[in-house]
């Protein structure tokens, strides 16, 4: 019985060590068309959204270690695909309007920033004022873009 546990633990550790050979690709490609907003808005976006929606991700220590690295890299890749503030100028007006609408939606539903991320990065949370400022900004800029 004792030996069986030893074997299981050794196999477990070996797997953990082995997957470290494949931590995944943590990229920060060049910023080619960053969104231009007020200093206040920039601060909020950078604090709460940029880690997953820009090319200026501050990769945390646990993004270096598999398997958590896979989860983080997946979130960032998917986040950038949906909305990327670093390539903002490449969006058409139509796309921007849609994104403004989606931002309003995620703010209303309190979907962003993602909950597991907030547990690990409480400082990235949106205060009530942040939320209101963001909401006002997307509503205003959204209708200006129309």
Restricting to residues 86-105, which ones interact with ligand HEC according to CB under 6 A?
A: 99, 102-103
Minimum distance from residue 49 beta carbon to ligand HEC (Å): 3
Please state the separation of Cα 52 from the chain's center in Å: 2
Minimum distance from residue 19 beta carbon to ligand HEC (Å): 22
Can you read off the two tokens belonging to residue 141? Answer: 């800029």
State the sign of the Cα–Cα–Cα–Cα dihedral 120, 39, 28, 76: positive
Restricting to residues 9-48, which ones interact with ligand HEC according to CB under 6 A?
A: 48
Cis link prior to 113 (omega < 30° from 0)? yes
Q: Which residues neighbour 109 within 8 Å (Cβ) at sequence distance 6 or greater?
A: none
Does residue 85 interact with ligand HEC by CB under 6 A? no
Instruction: Tell me which of 35, 41, 73, 83 binds ligand HEC, using CB under 6 A.
Output: 83
* Closer by beta carbon to ligand HEC, 44 or else 66: 44
Restricting to residues 103-132, which ones interact with ligand HEC according to CB under 6 A?
A: 103, 106, 112-114, 117, 126
**Residue 135 near residue 104, CB atoms below 8 Å:** yes
State the sign of the Cα–Cα–Cα–Cα dihedral 56, 118, 96, 36: negative
Minimum distance from residue 45 beta carbon to ligand HEC (Å): 7
Residues that bind ligand HEC (CB under 6 A): 48-49, 51-53, 75, 78-79, 82-83, 99, 102-103, 106, 112-114, 117, 126
């Amino acid at each position: 019985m004792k030996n069986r546990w030893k074997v299981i633990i050794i196999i477990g550790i070996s797997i953990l060590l082995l997957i470290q050979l494949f931590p995944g690709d943590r990229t920060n490609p060049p910023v080619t068309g960053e969104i231009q907003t007020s200093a206040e808005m920039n601060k909020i976006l950078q604090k709460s959204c940029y880690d997953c929606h820009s090319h200026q991700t501050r990769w945390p220590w646990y993004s270096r270690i598999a398997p958590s690295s896979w989860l983080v890299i997946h979130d960032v890749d998917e986040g950038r695909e949906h909305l990327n503030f670093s390539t903002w100028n490449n969006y058409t007006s139509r796309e921007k309007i849609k994104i403004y609408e989606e931002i309003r939606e995620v703010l209303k539903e309190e979907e962003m920033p993602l909950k597991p991320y907030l547990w690990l990065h409480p400082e990235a949370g949106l205060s009530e004022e942040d939320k209101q400022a963001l909401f006002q900004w997307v509503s205003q800029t959204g209708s200006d873009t129309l």
